[in-house]
Structure 1
Amino acid sequence: MNIPAHYLTRRSALGVIGAGSAAAALAACSTSSSNGGGGSDSSKRDDYSGEVKFEKFDTSAGNYEPATREHPAKNVPKPIKPDNLNEKSVESFYQNIAFIVAGMQYLYMTADGSALKESNIKGKEQLSKLEEQIKSSGVPDKSWFEDFTVKAFLDTPQPKVEGDNYTWEGKVSANLGSFTVQNGQVTDIPEKSRHQEVPQTFKGTYKDGKWEIDLGMSSSASSGASGGASTGSGSGGGFGF
């Protein structure tokens, strides 16, 4: 997934779109959020294919206001940690993916990684460094996109399960909107560069009563990716740190 660099106004954003990061995370964050203390409202089911949904956010900051050319998004809903993150089940694996991707979107919109630090994502020790990189680039007050949203999709109804190891093939899409702002300067983004999509592999290992989620690059993405910018090195996926 290669967005032209001059539309990505911070190095951290390049890492989100690029391939080859040390750890990866995606977000499927809906602006139609609600208050609550649990996980997604999605009940356990046989078919999880399609868009990954996360529906529990803290909206106490106020009504969400989308970004404009004059100001960044305001009162971004903060994902709330689900209650079932450490159960050994397909539902829990799904909720881990959903919470991680929601937390990553919140981080890139606000420079606040506190939600993601509550997740089971592999490589969490790098989050503080990533927060500083994002803040130093001007996020959220001096640097933003019109509509920085990412979504995750699952290709199959159920993951592949081998003992304590779960694998789910899917996709990640990223949308930047029609413009980006950096230090008061507005740059329009051509329509062809506003949306990108890559294959993605979601891997979960259940050990010592909890999950470790590794969002590594899928084999098709690995063979097809070239020229993607990144904040890190090593095996990674479409979105990483």
Structure 2
Amino acid sequence: MKNVTRRSALGLLAATGGATLLAACGAQPQAASGSASASGSASASVTASKTARSDYSGVAVLEGYTSKPSDYQPATRTEPSKNAPVPVKPAVANENSVEGLYQSIAFFGAAMEYYMRTGKTEPLRECALDKSELKSMIEPASGTLGEKLVKGEAWMHDATVTITMLSAQPEREGDTYNWGIRLTMDPGEFIASKDRVQEAPSESDRKDEVERTLHGVYENGAWKLTGMRASSSSSSASAVASASASAS
């Protein structure tokens, strides 16, 4: 089987990532240049949170979530991973605050990691990212690597997903809060199934890293996120084709 490349390994994430995909101490987020004034609605401005801080830059960490508990066992070339930690959406993620937005983003990253490790989509279905941007994972197309992951017919060695916040605070534009992130995904040393193993040639080659600006709007008691979908339709199409080829 051909070596794992960033395009073949992560093509299933095309809808949410790049070419191969797929906090505040009572202060308000800094307003973007030329942004609209507050409208006075519940979604127009976020409130201070008791857990908030002034600087959220760096790796996003889900509240109360350990990425590798002692009983977690990465996949082998013959068996899927065992005891992968299940991310739980913290209550603060639904809070109308910078901390709430931050934890919503952190939960999204944890849900993606869990999906890549197990093929299970339940946490993804709870995350704030717009479901249309998660479609390739929640409803994978026939013949793709995503379908094989969901069915348990294929698995990744020790998948990791890291979201890095690129600024201390989001920028506000009307009712929308924009936050730049860097998404880094690594499937591990191989992708395997019952009859084949696809090896990764090197750690640097198998990782996929993209930068996006997530757009958060607070409505109906929760945050809604958009912005992970690749802007280039040709890139996404190429990624999906690669994913299908790698799964065949």
Q: Residue 62 of structure 2 corresponds to which residue in structure 1?
A: 54
User: Per the alignment, do residues 162 and 138 of structure 1 end up closer, same or farther by CA in structure 2, a change over 3 Å counting?
Assistant: closer
Greater mean alpha carbon deviation, residues 126-135 or residues 206-215: 126-135
**Alpha-carbon separation, structure 1, partners of 2:181 and 2:80:** 30
User: Per the alignment, do residues 149 and 140 of structure 1 end up closer, same or farther by CA in structure 2, a change over 3 Å counting?
Assistant: farther
User: Per the alignment, do residues 56 and 216 of structure 1 end up closer, same or farther by CA in structure 2, a change over 3 Å counting?
Assistant: same
So what's the TM-score if we normalise by structure 2?
A: 0.68
Q: 191, 197, 208: which one pairs with 1:186?
A: 197
Number of paired residues?
A: 204
Q: 85, 109, 129: which one pairs with 1:121?
A: 129
Q: Residue 224 of structure 2 corresponds to which residue in structure 1?
A: 212
**Alpha-carbon separation, structure 2, partners of 1:131 and 1:85:** 30
Q: 92, 96, 105: which one pairs with 2:113?
A: 105
Task: Assess if the C-alpha contact under 8 Å between 2:214 and 2:226 holds in 1.
Answer: yes
Alpha-carbon distance, 1:111 to partner: 2.4
Q: Residue 177 of structure 2 corresponds to which residue in structure 1?
A: 166
1:69 partnered with 2:77? yes
Q: Structure 1, residues 23-47: CA drift from partner, whole Å, max 9, x if none?
A: x8xxxxxxxxxxxxxxxxx932111
Alpha-carbon distance, 1:165 to partner: 0.8
**Alpha-carbon separation, structure 1, partners of 2:64 and 2:209:** 25
Greater mean alpha carbon deviation, residues 87-96 or residues 66-75: 66-75
Q: Residue 46 of structure 2 corresponds to which residue in structure 1?
A: none
Alpha-carbon distance, 1:131 to partner: 9.4
Q: Residue 201 of structure 1 corresponds to which residue in structure 2?
A: 213
Aligned residue identity for 2:148: S
Task: Assess if the C-alpha contact under 8 Å between 1:203 and 1:213 holds in 2.
Answer: yes
Task: Name whichever structure is richer in helix by fraction.
Answer: 2
Q: Which runs of 5+ in 1 are unaligned?
A: 25-41, 233-241
Task: Assess if the C-alpha contact under 8 Å between 2:121 and 2:138 holds in 1.
Answer: yes
Quote the sequence identity (%): 31
**Alpha-carbon separation, structure 2, partners of 1:93 and 1:208:** 14
**Alpha-carbon separation, structure 2, partners of 1:14 and 1:164:** 28
Task: Assess if the C-alpha contact under 8 Å between 1:50 and 1:153 holds in 2.
Answer: yes
Q: 6, 26, 41: which one pairs with 1:3?
A: 6
Q: 1:124-135 counterparts in 2 under 5 A?
A: 126=135, 128-130=138-140
Alpha-carbon distance, 1:115 to partner: 1.6
**Alpha-carbon separation, structure 1, partners of 2:188 and 2:164:** 20
Q: Which runs of 5+ in 2 are unaligned?
A: 23-49, 242-248
Report the RMSD for the aligned CA atoms in angstroms: 3.6
1:142 partnered with 2:147? no
Aligned residue identity for 2:139: K
**Alpha-carbon separation, structure 2, partners of 1:20 and 1:111:** 18
Structure 1 runs (4+) greater than 6 angstroms displaced: 131-135
So what's the TM-score if we normalise by structure 1?
A: 0.69
User: Per the alignment, do residues 168 and 187 of structure 1 end up closer, same or farther by CA in structure 2, a change over 3 Å counting?
Assistant: same
Larger Rg: 2
Aligned residue identity for 1:129: E
Q: Residue 162 of structure 2 corresponds to which residue in structure 1?
A: 151
Aligned residue identity for 1:96: S
Task: Please give the secondary structure, in 2, of the residue aligned with 1:137.
Answer: helix
**Alpha-carbon separation, structure 1, partners of 2:14 and 2:173:** 34
User: Per the alignment, do residues 153 and 227 of structure 1 end up closer, same or farther by CA in structure 2, a change over 3 Å counting?
Assistant: same
Task: Assess if the C-alpha contact under 8 Å between 1:111 and 1:131 holds in 2.
Answer: no
Aligned residue identity for 1:122: D
